[in-house]
Amino acid sequence: MFVRTALAVTLAVFTAAHVWAAEKKTTPLRDILNEISKTSPEIRESVNVFDSVNAELKMAKTGYNPTVSAYLSGGKEITDGVDTDGERKDLNSTSASLTLRQNVFNGNGTANYVRETQARAMSASYDVLNVANKIFLAASESYITVLQEKELLDIALENVTTQAQILEQIKEKTKSGFGKLSDLTNAQARLALSRANYISQQQNLKQAIVKFHRQAGRFVTPEEFVMPELTYSLPKSADDMVDIAFTTYPAINVADYNIVAKKYGKKRVNAQYYPSVDFELKATHNNNTGGDEGSTDIQSAMLSLNYNLYDGGKRNAEKQLRSAEMMKEYERSYVERRNLIEAVRLAWNIKEAEDAKIPFLKDYVELTGKTRDAFVEENRLGRRSLNEVLNMENEYNSSKATLARSKYNSIIAYFRLLQATGLLLAEYDDALAGKVGLPEKKPMNKLEKYGNLDFNKDKDEADDKKDQCQQSAAAQTAPFGCENTEGVEVGYTIPDYFAPYIKPQVSTPASAPQDSLESISSDSLGEPEKSSDAAARTAAKPVAVKPAAKTAVPAVLPPAKMIDPGRKEQTITLPGNSFKPNTFDLTDEATATLLRIARELRTLKTPYTLKIYAHTDDSLTPEQGKDMTKLMVFAVHNRFLELGIPKGAMLGYGKGGSEPLVPNDSETARARNKRVELKIITN
């Protein structure tokens, strides 16, 4: 009895598991794309265009073959005239002829027509891949969007449930007299909003399913969607990605073959300027024709020449038309290349940024979750209200949604990179290329110099087929044809030191107080300034500038070491543009430099003296120049104080314009003379 029961239970469990597995149907992205490649009307339309051009190619090749024609006639023929000496003859006439005609020369018109059609056929074949490439991307994006909206819907539902649970607890506290009415109504309002947001997310999912239906032609339930595997390893840089795309992106090949087709179309017009020579074999049998009774046989073998001497200017006009069409396709190829560069780099930037964000967002979710758990525990101990828990729960929910969006943005960017390089088809469907005869067995010479075609517009070292900056100014450029880079690095480097967020208040008057730093005159370096000189400077007309304000310390620090501990004396120069325009606020770059110097000064094992020298150009009076440079010294001095450098270790010198590096004879020279020199002397 026990054995039978155990067997029955085992069988029931096995059957239930089997039914569950059968019911849990999945539809991977690969299956969807394979299906779309066979059923998409856009792809099938492009295949039909390819077939029609191939049929035209067969027509073009018939120009190499001879034509054979037969002629037969029979019936009553009445002849009355010179041929019958005025006698009327009524005869039963028959006639038969057989003609073979072979073109010998037509100015290469046939050859150029065949080459033009071959180029059009290759363009059509790559256009099939180009259309499929776009459809595959649209289908992939819609597939991934369904996954994203489904996950966001689950997060929204979880939020509604949590909000309702907290609201019930707030109701209980309010009923028992321990809660505030405002907390209750606030929680009710938030629950209402979360329910509305849940409905909005339902709509987002339904919209995503509709867009997927547009590509697949059928509905697939959200539960069938599974996360696709990202198997392709992206190259290390956007430059490398664009370089791959120039070779593999179908639209580039379409544009190039269109140029070739128009080139041979123009050459075909040139054939009209030459005579046409044909060889003809003809045999004729006539019976009772032309009033002659009896049979006549005629055989001939002849060369015929046909030369159009004047056509009213039609050939010239058609030649101009073909030339303009060729140049249009030539420029179109550059449009495609620029579109490609933009598409690859935009997708690369998105993926690079999202991948850099995701580790921080994961930390955000984890730490927010821990904070939420701590709030719950503190609520049990009476240290947090339920509304505070509710606030934290909302932030935790928001963090999960933000992470989900970033994750799916990265995946979509991955597929956009595959599409922009033409690798999406190779990764998910390789049958379509073979169906249209690709890869080519005998590739045509697509890009060659012809007429006005020039494939190195900027005359640099990179041919335009691989040039990512087709208008670079320099003749010698980097490997990809660009003399400059974007100049923006993506990512965040966590500094090892932060200045205090709440800083001690430091006054910043319009002119520096005499006791705030050791003021030394420019003509007696190293000796204290005379009181009369200080009074004279104080009486001088002040410079119209704004006082320095505090600048946030930037996060990314200069990587190189700035101070050599083994040197007794060394000088670091800050350029004049270290201050923001019309103020004594240090720029982020200058602040980062001071931060690095301060950090390294704090690590020195020997005593040191930091001398701050400020210089300007000759655009001010000597007195104004000294006042201005004193304020420059004061701004740097105060920043170092905030960064922990002792006041006693610093000396300041406002030098005015007395020590220019170069003559002040140009704007460039004046900019060079405006500077702050930091001299570090170790004992």
Nearest to 600 by CA among 559, 648, 636: 559
Looking at per-residue confidence, does 99 or 11 come out higher?
99
Instruction: Tell me the C-alpha distance between 499 and 506, whole Å.
Output: 15
CA distances from 438 to 40, 121, 125, 259, 433 (A): 20, 11, 8, 19, 5
Residue with the two structure tokens 């992206």: 234
Lowest mean pLDDT among 547-551, 593-597, 643-647: 547-551
Over range 134-139, report the average pLDDT. Answer: 96
224 band by pLDDT with thresholds 50, 70 and 90:
very high
Over range 132-145, report the average pLDDT. Answer: 96
Q: Which strands sit side by side in the sheet containing 675-682, from one edge to the other?
A: 569-575, 675-682, 608-615, 650-654
Buried/exposed code over 230-247 (b: 16+ C-beta within 10 A; e: otherwise)? eeeebeeebbebbbbbbe
Instruction: Tell me the C-alpha distance between 485 and 469, whole Å.
Output: 10
CB 588 within 8 A of CB 554: yes
pLDDT of 543? 34
Q: State the alpha helices, DSSP H only, in 566-661.
A: 588-603, 622-642
563 band by pLDDT with thresholds 50, 70 and 90:
confident
Buried/exposed code over 129-166 (b: 16+ C-beta within 10 A; e: otherwise)? bbbbbbbbbbbbbbbbbbbbbbbbbebbebbbebbeeb
To the nearest 10°, report the CA torsion of 46, 51, 54, 59.
Answer: -130
CB 628 within 8 A of CB 639: no
Q: Which CATH class is domain 26-60+115-257+314-445?
A: mainly alpha
Per residue in 398-437, pLDDT tens?
999 999 999 999 999 999 999 998 889 888 887 888 888 8
Per residue in 541-560, pLDDT tens?
333 333 334 444 444 444 55
Lowest mean pLDDT among 230-244, 260-274, 565-579: 565-579
CB 534 within 8 A of CB 513: no
Looking at per-residue confidence, does 481 or 116 come out higher?
116
CB 87 within 8 A of CB 80: yes
592 band by pLDDT with thresholds 50, 70 and 90:
confident
Q: Which strands sit side by side in the sheet containing 276-287, from one edge to the other?
A: 67-79, 89-105, 276-287, 295-306
Instruction: Tell me the C-alpha distance between 662 and 673, whole Å.
Output: 7
Instruction: Tell me the C-alpha distance between 558 and 497, whole Å.
Output: 13
Question: CATH 3.30.1330.60 in the chain, residues?
Answer: 569-682
Instruction: Tell me the C-alpha distance between 405 and 384, whole Å.
Output: 31
3-state helix, strand, coil in the chain (%, to 5): 55, 15, 35
Quick check: helix, strand or coil at residue 220? coil
Whether 523 shows a pLDDT value over 70: the answer reads no
pLDDT of 514? 43
Residue with the two structure tokens 């795309």: 245
Question: CATH 1.20.1600.10 in the chain, residues?
Answer: 26-60+115-257+314-445
Whether 215 shows a pLDDT value over 50: the answer reads yes
CA count, 13 A, side-chain hemisphere, 258? 21
CB 633 within 8 A of CB 612: yes
Tell me the residue ranges of DSSP E strands in 352-507: none
Instruction: Tell me the C-alpha distance between 47 and 126, whole Å.
Output: 10
DSSP code at position 619: S
Burial degree of 567 (CB within 10 A; 0-12, 13-18, 19+): exposed
Hey, how many other C-beta atoms are within 10 angstroms of the C-beta on 635? 26
pLDDT of 507? 40
624 band by pLDDT with thresholds 50, 70 and 90:
confident
Whether 233 shows a pLDDT value over 80: the answer reads yes
Over range 181-203, report the average pLDDT. Answer: 94
CB 514 within 8 A of CB 633: no
Whether 667 shows a pLDDT value over 50: the answer reads yes
584 band by pLDDT with thresholds 50, 70 and 90:
confident
Residue type, 492: Y
As a three-state string, the secondary structure of 646-666 is CHHHEEEEECCCCCCCCCCCC
Q: What is the overall mean pLDDT for the chain? A: 83
Hey, how many other C-beta atoms are within 10 angstroms of the C-beta on 516? 18
pLDDT of 445? 62
> What pTM was estimated for this model as a whole?
0.67
Per residue in 337-391, pLDDT tens?
999 999 999 999 999 999 999 999 999 999 999 999 999 999 999 899 999 999 9
Instruction: Tell me the C-alpha distance between 681 and 649, whole Å.
Output: 10
DSSP code at position 586: B
Quick check: helix, strand or coil at residue 124? helix
511 band by pLDDT with thresholds 50, 70 and 90:
very low
pLDDT of 438? 85
Quick check: helix, strand or coil at residue 542? coil
Residue with the two structure tokens 């100014």: 473
Domain 569-682 has CATH 3.30.1330.60: yes
Cα 284 to chain center, whole Å? Answer: 71
Lowest mean pLDDT among 128-132, 255-259, 515-519: 515-519
